[in-house]
Amino acid sequence: MNIQTWADSLTKEIYDAWKAKYVFWKPGIKVWYAPVVEHPKLLIITLQPGGGQADFETENLEAFEAGDFTQGTNEYIEANYVSAKKIRSFFDFDPTYEVLKQSVIVPLVFFRSPSISVWNNDFSPNKCAEMEGLCFAKTKEVVDTVKPKKIFVIGMKAYKKLKDLLGTVEDERVVYARRGGAEELVITASSNGTPICAVMHFSGSHINKADWQMMQTLFKEWY
């Protein structure tokens, strides 16, 4: 099985689970943001896809119903929604976006949600944990199958959850923080020899221009 066939089968597995058990969750699912290749220079991991029912129906549902589970485009390059624009802005030190073009991009939670508060409050904690567990069970498989050269995590919540799921994280270091170290903006680490860099989520806590530029600089040095 080649890597894209494996990626498509993972998407189908999550879609089939949504259709069989979780169709009440109208925002639907999203597994990949870009085509999947083996040994990418960067695996970008986020916490959870945004959007609601209309976004799912427009972007994915028709294709899934037709049996097409391939992510054909890199949304972080081509899409015009707010988070895609923000990510392109972070990578604008590279005017051709080659770093992004060569990246595989995946969330930890495959179920879309308009916001974290909606996800945490719209149904029972047990059901939420069950759905997250379905996704988290696949995280190590994604890392082990894709075999990235480096992992870039957007959001400290995503990073902390990834640490739990990987099981082994070494050489962790807070590279940049503010408020006396209480608010971490850049962390580096490794897992089984794979370097990891995590940054504060781009929508979080009023990142000012100086912090943004420092995050970019430290990422470039790490990359």
Q: What is the pLDDT of residues 2-42, one digit of tens each?
A: 999 999 999 999 999 999 999 999 999 999 999 999 999 99
* Contact assessment for residue 101 and residue 77, using Cβ atoms and an 8 Å cutoff: yes
pLDDT exceeds cutoff 90 at 206: no
- How many CB atoms are located within 10 Å of the residue 209 CB? 7
Q: What radius of gyration, in Å, describes the C-alpha atoms of the chain?
A: 17
Domain chopping of the chain, boundaries: 1-149, 153-223
pLDDT of residue 121: 85
What pTM, to 2 d.p., does this model score? 0.95
Angle at Cα 146 formed by Cα 213 and Cα 63, nearest 5°? 95
Task: Encode burial over 94-132: b for 16+ CB neighbours within 10 A, e otherwise.
Answer: eeebebbeebbbbbbbbbbbeeeeebeeeeeeeebeebb
| Encoded amino acid at 178, one letter | R
Q: What is the pLDDT of residues 127-165, one digit of tens each?
A: 999 999 999 999 989 999 999 999 999 999 999 999 999
Confidence category of residue 60, pLDDT binned at 50, 70, 90? very high
Q: What is the pLDDT of residues 64-111, one digit of tens each?
A: 999 999 999 999 999 999 899 999 999 998 889 999 999 999 999 999
